[in-house]
Amino acid sequence: MGTPTRKCVPLNLLEPTKAKERLLSEAYQKFFSIVKDALGCVGGVKSRAELHKKTYAVFRSRYSVASQLIVEATSYAWSVRKTVDEGIRRCVVRFDKRLFSFKQTKRGNPVLSLRVSSERIGLPIRRDGAYRRLQEHLNDGWKITSIIMKRDLSFLAVLSKDFPEPEGRENQLGVDINSSKIAVSIVSKDKVLKQTYLGQDVSTRQIRFEERRAKLQNHRDAGSSKAGLKLKKLSGKQKNYVKTRIWQIANEVVKLAKRFNANIAVEKLRNLRKHRGEWSKKSRKKVNRIPYALFRHALKCVAEREGILIKEVAPSYTSQTCPRCGHVSKENWRGYVYFKCDRCGYEADRDRVASLNIALRAAPKVGVPKTYFWSQIPEGGASVSRHALKDEGCGGWHQTTPSFKPTDLSVGS
């Protein structure tokens, strides 16, 4: 069996009584206080176990909560210690198997039982679509490992399931994630099988959300009370749209991998989070239009579920390397999205080049040719077009003259 795959599904509750709502709010505030206190003690601590040993007795005497919640809060503080340089503003409360259980009323209605202090409280579960979805997952072999409570007292059920270890496949699918689109290239041992773009609509919609938000912020600053409410609604709408589309795109990538019997290759990127001042506001907006971390998480979950192997490759110079002759130079960049090798004349969209290089780096070294006699230039001799998005303001095609004959190339299907 492979490593467990985890996912979260909503768990909607009926409106609790005032007394139960107060107990839940107190549990969250105490948990949050423990997290903040634990973060103040991480200096000089080398492990999670050492932090627990250093703080448990103090927190146990200071806070009247279940002892396991103190353990969970300390563990949470250790996991976020590197990402809260400017102070933590919110957290989530995790209830493990010792702190939650499911029961039924005499009428058969489901109830979530939580232990927040010395006693348990019962919270009736709403039997809606989210509950039916949870039941479908349980019937499909998923198991509930913990319950998450957020700051607004909403709940999530954390599910886990073991899937078979994915087996290596014959071909390779490379994925390059850019602020404007996701480029995909699929290669075999001797040719390019397919290249395509995904997610262009995500970037376009993100730009429109940004423009709408800027207008609403101007109205709000001018004294409009309705603008503030619309801003909050717009934020939720944007978040839901991006999350839904990212998961849809991840499913599309995995379907392509299954169709072409390919492994999936992604860049091994780490520490993308920048501190204030390292990037301009415009650069942060641009990078976050297609969130890399969310897409990678979604892709990993879907691929594990479908038995597709994901490989990580070195990210260096993927968009500066010519996949035809191997020449590496920043001079190969011709404009924002245009690539033309200054040695052999190979030309293509820059993101498409990067995805092709990612796929080639993931391919086994044995039997893989050093150069691919392939170009984005079609056999008819038409020049490469600059990849333009809707509403980008591109008035026409970028005309170029190839430095080699396209008819001499073997173009993949």
DSSP string, 127-140: -SHHHHHHHHHHHT
Q: How confident is the model at residue 114 (pLDDT cuts 50, 70, 90)?
A: very high
- The string of pLDDT tens digits covering residues 348-373 is 888 889 999 999 998 876 444 445 54
Task: Evaluate if residue 111 carries a pLDDT over 50.
Answer: yes
Cα angle 308-312-318, degrees, rounded to a multiple of 5: 120
pLDDT at 304 over 70: yes
Full strand arrangement of the beta sheet holding 110-115: 100-104, 110-115, 120-124
Closest CA to 349 of 191, 178, 186, 187: 178
Span 188-205, pLDDT tens digits: 888 889 989 998 888 888
Tokens of 316: 């260096």
Would you state the structure tokens that stand for residue 355, as one six-digit string? 């995805």
Structure tokens at 238: 């944007």
pLDDT tier for residue 280 given thresholds of 50, 70 and 90: low
List, in order of start, the domains of the chain with CATH numbers.
Answer: 4-162 (no CATH), 171-199+253-408 (3.30.420)
Worst-scoring range by mean pLDDT, 45-59, 228-242, 253-267, 304-318?
228-242
All residues at 6 or more sequence positions from 413 whose CB lies less than 8 Å from its CB, including other chains: 191, 193, 194
Percent of the chain with pLDDT over 90: 43
Segment 399-406 long-range contacts (CB within 8 Å, at least 24 positions apart): 400/340, 400/347, 402/345, 402/347, 402/375, 402/377, 403/344, 403/345, 404/344, 404/345, 406/375, 406/377, 406/378, 406/379, 406/380, 406/381
Helix (H, G, I), strand (E, B) or coil at 399: coil
Gap between the terminal Cα atoms of the chain: 36
- Rounded distance between C-alpha atoms, residue 264 and residue 257, angstroms: 7
Nearest one of 229, 191, 261 to 411, comparing CA atoms: 191
Residues whose CB is less than 8 angstroms from the CB of residue 44 and which lie 6 or more positions away in sequence, other chains included: none
